[in-house]
Every structure is written in C-alpha cells, then in structure tokens.
Amino acid sequence: MIRASPRFFTVRTVQASLRSYATAHTSKSEVDLPRQILERGLQLLPEHGWDLAPATRSLGLSDQAASIFPNGKFDLLQFYLQKQTAKLASVQLKSSTPDGCVRELVHARLLANAELGPYLGEAVSMLMSPKYLPYSLEQLHNLVDEIWFLAGDKGHDATWYTRRGSLAMIYAASESFMTRDNSPNFKHTLSFCDRQLNAWSRFEAAEESVSEWFKFNAIAAFNVAKSLTR
C-alpha cells in the first residue's frame, strides 16, 4: 500500500524537519506556533474562509498574531495547497495505465475542493493575482509533478515539460470552471476536465503522426537530393 516515498513528499518532510529544528531546539517555545495557527485555520476553513483572525482567536491569541504571516490569507491558501498535494499519495488508484491514473488523481484533487464551498472562488482569484502568481505557479507545478510521479511516469525526455505544462493548464482551467459549477458532485467540472484530457491525448497522438510524417519526408527529400547531385 505504501508507495515508494514520492519525491515531493520527501522534500517536504526534510523542510519540515529543518523548520522544527530551527524553532524547537533554539527557542523556549516547544510548539511551532505559526504552523499551529495555520492548522487551526484549515480546520475553520469551511466556516470562516481564508481569514486568519478566527484561527488566532480560537487558539486564545491576540488578533494581532496573524500579522506574522507576510501574505496573510494567501499564506493559509499556500499551506492548504501543500497539504492537498501531499494527500494525493494516499489515493487508491484503480487504473493500470498512467493516463488513467492521471485522470483519477486530477479528479481526486478537484473533488477535494468541494469542502471549500464559496471560498473556492476567492482562492482562485488570489492565485490569479499578479502579486502571488510566482507562488501560484510553483504550487501548480508541484501538484502536476506529483500527479505524474504518482501515476508512475518515469519519462525524462523533452516531453517532461509539455506533459507537465499541459496538465497544469488543464487543471487550472478545470478549477476555474469549478467555481461556477452548481451541478451535484461537480459532475460538469469532471466531464469538462475529461474532455480536456481526451482532447489533449488526441492532440498528442496527432502531433506524433504529423512529426513522423515530416521526419519521413525530410529523409526522403534528402535522399532524392543526394541522388540528384551524384
């Protein structure tokens, strides 16, 4: 059941242990207070959204405590995204092909957004804002990288980039679609996502045939040219 520890997850644990070293060993406080605030923020997320004040208040802290997070709400959102990406490792995959696994994982990740309710829209607009775009893209990259890894993709040729780029676009588009989806269990979002994935694999197949054709003709043309100059 335990898959070979995913790259992303390993990196994260190393970071986490570094951080706990920095605080727990060198400060009188035994708990990592910023992390505690973020964890509480996640618990209160369905009720209070991305605001940090309810979290600090419920921990018995001054409202001012939230100001140690330089990006406020967005810091909670980033924390949420990291956790959601890490959670994908525990999805039980049924498909045998990498493409099928990718589809299952993307669906699982999209459906995890359901608990956000009305706050998904706010999250998407924060992610799109120019100020946070570099961080958003990093989170998105981590997500699709993890998905490909978990789907068992070991390719390391030039399509490494296109596969991640395309999946990132499909995921981001589906997530935006989701903010306006009222269908039960986000049926429309999932079918939107599937259409994009299918279109993409058709495109990939088509692209492959086209480039094969060009390659064949280029070689043929070269040979013809060579025979003519003889």
131 binds another protein (CB under 8 A): no
Question: Can you tell me which of 65, 93, 111, 168 binds another protein, judged by CB under 8 A?
Answer: 65
Q: What is the DSSP letter of 92?
A: -
Residue number with CB closer to another protein (24 or 221): 24
Q: What is the DSSP letter of 78?
A: H
15 binds another protein (CB under 8 A): no
17 binds another protein (CB under 8 A): no
57 binds another protein (CB under 8 A): yes
Q: How far apart are CB 49 and another protein at their closest, in Å?
A: 12
User: Per CB under 8 A, which region of 59-67, 87-95, 107-115, 170-178 contacts another protein?
Assistant: 59-67
| Helix residue spans in 25-158 (DSSP H) | 33-48, 53-58, 73-87, 98-112, 119-128, 133-150
By C-alpha distance, which of 150, 5, 139 is closest to 82? 139
> How many residues belong to the site for another protein (CB under 8 A)?
30
Question: Can you tell me which of 60, 130, 134, 184 binds another protein, judged by CB under 8 A?
Answer: 60
Residues 70-109, mask of contacts with another protein (x by CB under 8 A): x-x-------------------------------------
Residue number with CB closer to another protein (31 or 133): 31
For residue 205, how far is the Cα from the chain centroid? 25
Three-state helix/strand/coil letters over 145-210? HHHHHHCCCCCCCCHHHHHHHHHHHHHHHHHHHHCCCCCHHHHHHHHHHHHHHHHHHHHHHHHHHH
Residue number with CB closer to another protein (46 or 165): 46
User: What six digits make up the tokens of 167?
Assistant: 């999946």
Residue number with CB closer to another protein (41 or 54): 54
| Phi, then psi, of 181 in degrees rounded to 5 | -95, 120
Q: Which residues bind another protein (CB under 8 A)?
A: 19, 23-34, 53-54, 56-57, 59-70, 72
